[in-house]
Structure 1
C-alpha cells in the first residue's frame, strides 16, 4: 500500500471550506490507513484512475471493504448528496400514501426544484421521487415539514448519521444547500449509500429514470439527474450534487455479476461522469483480488428504549383480597344457617333463665 500526498493548495482549500483543520482521531473510523489526506491504494495492482476530485472512496457494498480512497475523511460541503441522508432518514418515518399540502416556504426554496405548488395534490411517494430524481430542494423542505418540521428532521438526520458512525457528517439543511457548519466526507457518503441500498424504497427512488409528477390540472414528466443511469452498465443510481462552494459531488452504485461497487466523490471542479465510470470499472476489477485499505463500518446497534423501574410498596405488592362473592344459593344457605343459630341461641337462653329462676326460689326457701 502506498500513499500520495495531496497538493498543498488542495489541502488549504479543504481547510478553508471546513472552517479550520480537524484533528484526526488516533484510529479513524474504518482503519488507520484512512487517516491519510492523500491517495490510499492497495499494493500489487494498477493504481486507480486519476480524478480531479479532492476526495473519493471506492468500496465493495457487500463486504464493506474500502478498495481505494483519497482523503476519505476530509470534511467537505456535501451539496445535494446530503439528500441521500434525508431519504434514508425519512423513508421509514413517513407513510408513502399520505397526501401532502406543501407550505409556501417549501414551494419557494432556492436552488434546484421540482416545481411544487401549495395545493394538496402530492403523495409522500411523489416527494421522494422529486427529492432523489430531480434533486428538488422544495421537495426536501416539504418532506421535512411533513416529518414535524425542520428542527425535528435535522435532529433525526444527525441521529441517523451518528448511528451509521458517519461522524464527519453534520446536517444543517435537508436539501444540502450550503450552510455554515454543514459537512460530510467521501467515507460517510459511502456509509450512507450502503445503508440506503438495503432499503427497497430507497433503491426504487434512486434507480427510476423517469416518472409522472402531479400538477394542479394534470401531470408532467420528471427525469433522474444521474447521467450514468443511461450510460453505465449495471448502474443502480444514488445522488449527485453541486453548488458553487461545494463544487461537484456524487454518490454512485452499480451492480455486475451479483456484486455492487460504491463510488463517492467530493469537491470535483468540473465534469466528473467519465471519471466516476472509470473508478467503478477499477473497483469491479479489483474487488476480491486486493487487500482492502479500510472498512465501511457497520451501524451501531439500536438501543432498546429504557423502561423506568417502578418499585411497589409492600401494601401495593401484596394487596388485601376482598372476600369472594357469594352466589344466590350460597347466600340462601348462609341465611338459613344464621337464622337457625339465632333461634337455637334464643331457646338455649330461655332454658338457662328458667333454670336460674328455679334455683333462686329454692334458695329463698
Structure 2
C-alpha cells in the first residue's frame, strides 16, 4: 500500500485542497527568480567553473550518485573538484569542512557519504555562495560541484544539471505544498543537461533531450565498515568488497529474505533494486535523513539486514551483526560526458 508521502507526490485528491497555497508559493518563487534574472538581486560568481546538480521536485532523484560520478570523471580528466552541499539534517556551524570521520548528525548524512566516497574536499553550508568561498579559500580546487543547489540563485553557475526520477517523473505536477514541484516544469528547458534516473516509467513524455542514468549496485559491504570507508569509486567498490566481506562474514545471496531499511527520498526504489537482484526484501521505510536508534534496526523474524549507503554512514555503530549496505555507481552514456567536457573546454585545468 502506498504511503501518504507517495500519495502526496502522485496527486491524491485530498492534497488538492492545498492548491491555493501552492499557487501562492509558485508566485513567490517566480517573483524571487525574476529578481535574480533582471538584476534586482546579484549573484556571486566564483573564479572557477561551478556545476549545479539539482532537481525541480522535492525528494530524492539520484543527485548524490551523479555527484560522485562527476567527481570521478572530472578528476580523471585533470580537474581538482570540490563539493558544496546543503548538509540537510545536520547541525554544524556553517560553513563547515566535512572530514571523513565526522558525525552525520552534525554535518548531514549525504555530505558525509560524499566526503568518504569521493576523497575530495566537501563543505556544507545552506548559503551556497558562502560555502564555495570557504571551499576555495581552504582547498586546492579548480572546479566546484554544488549538490542540490538549483534554486539557490545567489550562486552563479556555469552548468546546470537537473535530475528526474524515471519512476515518478514530476509526480502530480502541482507546486508545493499541494505537490512536489519546487519550480514549474518549464524550468527544465533552461538547464544544460536533463538526466533521468532509470528508465522512464512515469506518466507522460520524458523531458526533451534527456539522458538516462542507471544506478549499478555494487557488492554488499558490512555496515560496520561504513564508518571507515575511504575514497571508493568505480571498480574499487567491487574490488574492496570481497576482502571486507570475507573479514566480516558472507553476505546473503539471492533468493534470501532480508530486512531492507531505507531512509531516503523514495524508499520503494531501493526495495525494487533488491527485488531485481533476486532477493525477497521485507521493506522498512523511514523518512528521508532519518536519525536511527539501535532499537529501530531490530526486526522479527531475525534475518540479514540491508540498507542504503546513506543510511549506513549513520548506523555503523548501532546496526546488529549481519547488517549490510549496497553502494551504487551512476552509469551515464559516453555522449553525456563528451558534452560536459566540451562545455568545460574554456576552463581547462592549467596542468591538463
Query: Does the alignment reach a TM-score above 0.5?
Result: no
Normalised to the residue count of structure 1, the TM-score between the two structures is 0.28
Q: Max radius of gyration: which structure?
A: 1
TM-score (normalised: structure 2): 0.28
